[in-house]
Amino acid sequence: MAPSPRSGRARRALLTAFVTASVALPVSGAARPAVVPAPAPAAVAPLDSAGSSALKARYAAGRAEIRAARDMAARHGDRRRATALTAMARPGRTFLMFDGRDGGRGVEVLGDLSRARRIAVLVPGAGVDLDHYGRLRRGAGALLDELGSGSAVVAWLGYRTPAMLSPAAMTPGRADEAAPALRSFVRELSAAKPSARVSLLCHSYGSVVCARAASGLEVADLVLYGSPGTGAGSAAALHTRATVRAGLGGDDWIARVPHVAVPLPYGTAGFGTDPVTPEFGAEVFDAGGAGHSGYLEPGSVSLRSIAGIVAGTAGGGHA
């Protein structure tokens, strides 16, 4: 069957965006500060238990890594990074892992993981790194407040996210790199907390990461929001026993991004089927009027919907 005119227009629009990003990336990259050096982190013992002693050891190791990265940033002369890392190392902040190299990676726990009956793992999208970590943590905090006691939220910045305006944000390469780490972390978490209900919350490009990692994971829900597509044609193609849910805010610009996958000589640009469409087959939740970065805003419809999913009280059917 010949492609429809609408499909052809969408493909041309995506290719135009891809070429624009390819040209713009060197310009935007040139304006960024030099990469801030950080030490290679030490290996940590697996989290085979979520008891208080095991968690305290992991949190102490994470704090030590943050302080080492802070000291190196200070010696490098980057006071902004050093100040941010000083805040991350404060008492009460709890990181299961930290790596300050190459934009930064970290896994921070909000709430009491040892007692949590419900655990949400937030997987961020493009543009989130150590210098833009605050918005990920604010969203995690808002979700924890909405969930209340008996819950924990994990901000999983466990991969090298692509820049917002870059070819990497339109191709699956970074997601392919990230998927093994996410899969390993979720399995570690599930083994440490076998009775807890675990939900993966996947924002924007993070939905591509989650899709790559989904097969075989023992999670209750796979929640895709603000998604450019997943690279899969349907929820069934994700090969997960989790309930796949999708939401799109009324003010989210991602709705205007063509949901097509365009073959290129060295890969594919775009991620195909929109997860909120009937043909994808996800359970669609009410995201209200959320903008692309506003799904976890306090008081929002989208936050209430997502908290209901994590708590296991959300209803819904196939769109």
E strands within the chain?
94-99, 105-111, 118-123, 151-157, 197-203, 221-225, 243-247, 262-264, 267-269, 283-284
Q: What is d(CA 187, CA 304) in angstroms, rounded to the nearest whole number?
A: 27
- Residue 226 contacts by C-beta under 8 Å, 6 or more apart in sequence? 125, 203, 204, 207, 248, 249, 252, 254, 290, 292, 295
- Per residue in 268-309, pLDDT (tens digit) is 889 999 999 999 999 999 999 999 999 999 999 999 999 999
What the block records as the tokens of 192 is: 């440490």
Scored b (16 or more CB within 10 A) or e, 64-74 reads ebbebbbebbe
Distance of CA 243 to the CA centre of its chain: 18
Do residues 16 and 167 touch, judged by C-beta distance below 8 A?
A: no
Q: What is the CA radius of gyration of the chain?
A: 19
* Residue at 16: amino acid letter: T
Q: What is d(CA 143, CA 132) in angstroms, rounded to the nearest whole number?
A: 18
- Per residue in 184-232, pLDDT (tens digit) is 999 999 999 999 999 999 999 999 999 999 998 999 999 999 999 999 9
- Residue 293 contacts by C-beta under 8 Å, 6 or more apart in sequence? 135
Do residues 305 and 314 touch, judged by C-beta distance below 8 A?
A: yes
Distances (CA, A) of 130 to 71, 100, 178: 15, 8, 17
Task: Record the pTM.
Answer: 0.89
pLDDT value at residue 25: 38
Degrees, nearest 5: CA angle 200-255-130: 50
- Per residue in 131-178, pLDDT (tens digit) is 899 999 999 999 999 999 999 999 999 999 999 878 899 999 999 999
- Per residue in 144-156, pLDDT (tens digit) is 999 999 999 999 9
For residue 225, with 0-12 CB atoms within 10 Å meaning exposed, 13-18 middle and 19 or more buried, which class applies? buried
